[in-house]
């Protein structure tokens, strides 16, 4: 049955509420942030002085900020390398037809119901050098008790592990949905032709999960760059010695702790451009590798 709108203005009427929300809470703040990045703003925003692109020049000539940008790339890349393969393996296990599989799926998915701040609190106590269960087990098995909080490398690793655990549930949901949408007829036909389990996974399952891989890459990227502030604020506060001071934490600190609004706005614009650029590159480079449809 063909569906259609009876009135000429009905489609525009239906999208008006969402258009208003996007205008007020996305586009307007984005424009205001871009404009504010061209000003030097006094404490609490009582006075603004137009300085053009000086905030951007200061950022791109600051070794501390460039280190923050590089650290953000390392953090996001490591989280996606840790999270996506593990999520796919767990989704494959959760896709099996065994007794009580629904309960197992709930246990695998529930971490995503937690906020980043809650996940940070849980793992901060797990990694606690004195009373944490992780150091207890490491001491029991290997006789070592790493200082996860004070060591620069270990602190960054702690943040990566916590973020990866937090995103596992989200990734598993979509990988599981993607696996269940793969037609069994294709896998059965491949089995009849002599393909083993690994060959069916590599030649059929992975290519047909292309749209899921692509979607999860973008969503994990956005989470790493935009949503990890609360977790870092609780676990390391950007330390030690700025070892976990990624872009979202630095701009939030500059904007709401030091009240340097113009400088923080410029960082926000740069972060937005970086994420958009990475997303565009992902679109352009993987377009031919993503296959939509089961046939």
* Residue 64 belongs to domain with CATH number: 1.10.3720.10
Domain membership flag for residue 15: no
Instruction: Tell me the residue range of the domain where 191 lies.
Output: 53-289
Domain membership flag for residue 115: yes
Residue 139 CB coordination number (10 Å): 12
Encoded tokens for 213: 């891989």
- Model confidence, pTM: 0.88
Domain membership flag for residue 188: yes
Compute the average pLDDT of residues 51-69.
Answer: 94
Q: What angle do CA 171, 211, 270 make, to 5 degrees?
A: 75
Compute the average pLDDT of residues 146-152.
Answer: 92
pLDDT value of residue 288: 63
pLDDT tens by residue, 198-234: 888 888 888 889 888 888 988 999 999 999 999 999 9
Q: Which of 20-29, 183-192, 277-286 has the lowest mean pLDDT?
A: 277-286
Measured CA to CA, the distance from residue 197 to residue 90 in angstroms comes to 16
The answer to whether 237 and 260 are in contact (CB under 8 A) is no
pLDDT value of residue 294: 46
Domain membership flag for residue 33: no
pLDDT tens by residue, 253-273: 998 888 888 999 999 999 999
- Counted domains in the chain: 1
Measured CA to CA, the distance from residue 236 to residue 239 in angstroms comes to 5
Encoded tokens for 195: 């393909």
**Dihedral through CA 91, CA 95, CA 96, CA 101, nearest 10?**
90
Average pLDDT of the chain?
88
pLDDT tens by residue, 228-240: 999 999 999 998 8
Domain membership flag for residue 40: no
Domain membership flag for residue 39: no
């Amino acid at each position: 049955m063909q569906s259609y709108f009876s009135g000429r203005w009905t489609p525009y009427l239906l999208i008006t509420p969402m258009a208003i929300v996007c205008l007020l809470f996305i586009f307007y703040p984005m424009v205001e942030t871009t404009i504010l990045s061209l000003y030097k703003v006094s404490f609490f925003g009582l006075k603004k002085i137009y300085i053009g692109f000086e905030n951007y020049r200061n950022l791109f000539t600051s070794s501390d900020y460039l280190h923050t940008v590089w650290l953000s790339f390392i953090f996001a890349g490591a989280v996606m390398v840790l999270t996506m393969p593990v999520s796919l393996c767990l989704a494959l296990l959760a896709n099996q037809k065994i007794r009580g599989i629904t309960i197992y799926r709930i246990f695998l998915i529930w971490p995503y119901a937690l906020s980043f701040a809650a996940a940070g609190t849980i793992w901060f106590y797990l990694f606690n050098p004195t009373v944490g269960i992780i150091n207890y087990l490491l001491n029991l098995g290997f006789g070592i008790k790493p200082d996860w909080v004070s060591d620069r490398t270990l602190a960054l690793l702690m943040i990566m592990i916590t973020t990866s655990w937090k995103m596992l549930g989200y990734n598993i949901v979509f990988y599981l949905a993607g696996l269940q949408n793969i037609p069994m007829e294709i896998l059965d036909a491949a089995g009849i032709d002599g393909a083993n389990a690994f060959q069916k996974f590599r030649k059929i399952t992975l290519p047909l999960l292309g749209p899921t891989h692509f979607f999860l890459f973008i969503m994990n990227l956005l989470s790493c760059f935009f949503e990890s502030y609360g977790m870092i604020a609780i676990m390391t506060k950007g330390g030690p010695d700025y070892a976990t001071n990624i872009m979202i934490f630095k701009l939030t600190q500059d904007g709401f702790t030091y009240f340097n609004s113009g400088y923080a706005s410029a960082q926000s614009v740069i972060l937005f451009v970086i994420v958009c650029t990475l997303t565009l590159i992902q679109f352009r480079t993987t377009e031919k590798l993503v296959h939509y449809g089961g046939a």
